[in-house]
Amino acid sequence: MADICSTRPVNGQQDDDGPEEKARKLEEANKELETWKIKAEKADDLKARLILEKLEEDEAKGNAQQEMLAYLKRQEECQKEFTQSRSAVQEEILQLGARRRDLLDKLKRCQAGLEAKRAESKKLKQKFKVYAQIPDTEVEFRAQSKEEKDDNSELIRGVFAISQRPNVLLQGGQALITFEEEKVAFQILKIAKCSVSCDNISFDVKPKRISMDPAVKFEVHLDVSRKKLKVSNIPPSMPEERIKDRLEISFSRPSRGGGEVEAVEYDRNNRNGEITFLHPGVAESLALRERYRVDLDSEVNVQVGPIYSYQLCKFQTFCGLPKRTILLDGIQDKGDEEDLQDYLEIHFQKPSNYGGEIESIRYISMRKTLQAFFCEDSTPTAST
């Protein structure tokens, strides 16, 4: 910057100051000039710094704008991905809902099928269940031969043959008639409806063929051990080996009915044991007692019983139709039960009514039922 000094008077006035005054004013002017130079330099520095700061801020602003644009773009991409993911999830939810409905429908069908199978199984079990009353039978026990004793000394063997008699349930208003000849029953079955006279009135009955449930026949083979004894409810108050020792000692005492023990087994989990005696016969007598005193940490009573095994053999089912017996259905209850039975017998004995000799007849009035059993000779017997 150039320094310019003028000595011309201001407003045309002459400078009347002396040299000293002029020198002082010049010095003050120079100082003021230096001051303004310093201020101008500071202003230039501030301006340059501000310019630099402005440039830096502009650059930062540009970077922030680019970063913001990148974030906006990323946000749009994320929003797009979220929309696609939400659509996929909603579609999957719809598919799962449809799959769930299909599975529920399938479950209902399976449950219905299962219930049908259970009902069928229950029906078949009821159909093939054996209800048999075993009559009192005199049994003769004979001594075994020496060879049989040597071979079967450890077992008592028995074979029980069980045979179910064919039966039919007779409902109220029905009758069973057994003819002496098959051809008579065959002729009556050809008639769709028979008119029976009773005290100046008549009623119609319908002959039907009898449908019987299958009957079964089988054998039960039973083997009872003569040397082994089952012991139950043994308290686990001692270690397992000590319990075995105490059991062996207790069952070895002849004073209590025991005998020489060959082996002892004990299961701590179910509190059961098995005693094997050296000689047969001891287990039989103890099993009849049902209880035995054992010395453990104290004397306790345990349950004793036989050890046996059984097997079902020769299971057979039989289906058939009686040839000489027919069912009369739809009989009107118009009188005494015995009188109606007599009228039915009289009617079906007449050859003019295609009847014949009757071996047996049974009529059941309304509100009653009767279970009729058939023997092998086809003679029906009834039981209420």
Cα separation of 235 and 237, whole Å?
6
- The four Cα atoms 101, 103, 105, 106 give a dihedral, to 10 degrees, of 160
Structure token digits, residue 169: 């349930």
Split into its structural domains, the chain has a count of 3
Question: Is residue 35 situated within a structural domain?
Answer: yes
Query: 222 and 313 share a domain?
Result: yes
CA of 190: how far to CAs of 182, 320, 322, 344, 355, in Å? 13, 20, 16, 18, 12
pLDDT at 144: 52
Please name the residues in contact with 274: beta carbons below 8 A apart, sequence gap of 6 or more. Answer: 228, 229, 230, 231, 264, 265, 266, 307
Cα separation of 30 and 37, whole Å?
10
Cα separation of 326 and 382, whole Å?
15
Residue 1 carries which side chain, given as an amino acid letter?
M
Question: Is residue 144 situated within a structural domain?
Answer: no
CATH code where residue 264 lies: 3.30.70.330
pLDDT at 384: 39
Query: 191 and 309 share a domain?
Result: no
Query: 163 and 189 share a domain?
Result: yes
Q: Residue 272: beta bridge partners? A: 267
Question: Is residue 39 situated within a structural domain?
Answer: yes
pLDDT at 220: 87
pLDDT at 138: 60
pTM: 0.44
- Which residue's entry shows tokens 């009847």? 355
Question: Is residue 142 situated within a structural domain?
Answer: no
- Single out the residue in 264, 294, 317 at which a domain terminates: 317
Query: 39 and 183 share a domain?
Result: no
- Which residue's entry shows tokens 């009729």? 372
Query: 83 and 202 share a domain?
Result: no
Scanning 129-153, the segments in alpha helix (DSSP H) are: 146-151
Q: Residue 158: beta bridge partners? A: 222
pLDDT at 82: 92
pLDDT at 13: 47
Number of helices and strands in the chain (H, E): 6, 14
Cα separation of 381 and 165, whole Å?
10
Query: 120 and 260 share a domain?
Result: no
Question: Is residue 13 situated within a structural domain?
Answer: no
Dihedral angle sign, alpha carbons of residues 50, 56, 62, 65: negative
Phi, psi of 58 (to 5 degrees): -60, -40
Q: 268 near 236, Cβ under 8 Å?
A: yes
Counted residue by residue, the chain has a size of 384
- Single out the residue in 129, 161, 179 at which a domain terminates: 129
282: exposed, middle or buried (Cβ count in 10 Å: 0-12, 13-18, 19+)? buried
Q: Is 85 helix (H, G, I), strand (E, B) or coil?
A: helix
Question: Is residue 259 situated within a structural domain?
Answer: yes
Query: 309 and 372 share a domain?
Result: no
Report, as ranges of residue numbers, the positions in the chain whose pLDDT lies below 70.
1-17, 126-153, 376-384
pLDDT at 375: 74
Residue 278 carries which side chain, given as an amino acid letter?
L
The Cα angle at residue 268 between residues 267 and 272, in degrees rounded to 5 = 50
The Cα angle at residue 82 between residues 81 and 88, in degrees rounded to 5 = 90
pLDDT at 153: 63
Question: Is residue 28 situated within a structural domain?
Answer: yes
Question: Is residue 275 situated within a structural domain?
Answer: yes
Query: 308 and 232 share a domain?
Result: yes
User: Left if phi > 0, otherwise alpha if psi is -120 to 50, otherwise beta: which for 241?
Assistant: alpha
pLDDT at 160: 85
Query: 205 and 167 share a domain?
Result: yes
Query: 45 and 122 share a domain?
Result: yes
What is the domain range of residue 272? 218-317
Q: 262 near 277, Cβ under 8 Å?
A: yes
Q: Smallest Cα–Cα separation from 374: which of 130, 166, 131?
A: 166
259: exposed, middle or buried (Cβ count in 10 Å: 0-12, 13-18, 19+)? buried
